[in-house]
Amino acid sequence: MRFFLALLLLLTLPLAAQTIKNPGARWDQVYLNPDGKVPVNPSTLVLESTANLKAGAALDVGMGNGRNAIYLARKGWKVTGVDISQAAVKQAQAEAAKLKVELDARPGDIERMDLGHEKYDLIICMYIHMVPIRNARKFIEALKPGGTLIVEGHHAEAQALGLRPVSGGPPGYMDNQLLRAFERLRIIRYEDRTTQAEWSNGPEGRAPIVRMVARKQ
C-alpha cells in the first residue's frame, strides 16, 4: 500500500504546483475564515519537548497565529516567527501585543530567507509539509550545537484515507522521510502513528501523524 501512496504523491505534486499559485493568499483565507478550524493552543509536542530546555533563540517556521511562538516568548525565549500569510502574522502580532509579549513576527517565505549560521537554539516546524525536507540543510546549519528541531505533520497516508489539512495543502510526509532528511542530527523522538491531529478533518480529529524531535550535536 505504501508503494501506491508514494506513486499517488508523485502524481499529485505537479498538479498542486500548478493550482497553488499564491500560497500566501490561500493561507490568508484559512486564517480569516471565522468558521475555520485553526488551532489556537500551543502544540502538545512543543509543550512536552521544550519543558526542560533552557530558553534561548527560537525560530517558528510557519508560525500561523502565533500559538507556539507566543507560548515560547512567555517562557522567556527570544522568538522569531515567520509565516507566508500576512493575515496570520497580523493575528500573532495582535495577540502578542495584547499579552504584552515581545515577539518578532514577520511575513515572508522561509525558503527564500537566509537563516544564518548557528543562530537558533530551537526551530519548530508544525504542519508545513515538505518545507523541512526541502530546507533540511539550511535548518541544520541555522541550529546552534545542542539546538533542537521539532517537526509535526500528517503522513502522506492521510490523503489516501480522504483526510487533509484544513488548508488543503500538501498531503504529508512519506515513510521515514524526515529521518533521512535530518540524519545528521540525533533523533530524540520519532512517531509515525494514527492519533489526535491538530490540523485534520478526520473523524474526531484523528489522522496518520508524523512527529520528530532531533538535536544537533
Q: Indicate the domain borders of the chain.
A: 2-215
Distances (CA, A) of 29 to 35, 57, 67, 164, 167: 11, 30, 18, 16, 9
Helix, strand or coil, per DSSP, at residue 204? helix
What is the pLDDT averaged over residues 181-199?
A: 93
- In total, the chain counts a number of residues equal to 217
pLDDT higher than threshold 70 for residue 3? no
Helix, strand or coil, per DSSP, at residue 124? strand
Give the strands of the sheet with 104-107, arranged side by side: 104-107, 78-83, 57-61, 120-126, 143-154, 206-215, 186-196
pLDDT higher than threshold 70 for residue 183? yes
What per-residue confidence (pLDDT) applies to 9?
Answer: 40
- Give the whole-angstrom CA distance, residue 11 versus residue 20: 15
What per-residue confidence (pLDDT) applies to 201?
Answer: 57
Q: How far is CA 215 from the centre of its chain?
A: 17
What per-residue confidence (pLDDT) applies to 13?
Answer: 40
Question: Which of 9-18, 91-100, 189-198 is predicted least confidently?
Answer: 9-18
Dihedral angle sign, alpha carbons of residues 62, 136, 47, 163: positive
pLDDT digits (tens, 9 = 90+) for 47-60: 999 999 999 999 99
Q: How many C-beta atoms lie closer than 10 Å to residue 23's C-beta? A: 13
Q: What are phi and psi of 133, to 5 degrees?
A: -65, -50
211: Cβ contacts below 8 Å, ≥ 6 apart? 45, 151, 152, 189, 190, 191
pTM above 0.75, yes or no: yes
- Give the whole-angstrom CA distance, residue 165 versus residue 160: 13
Domain 2-215 annotated CATH 3.40.50.150 = yes
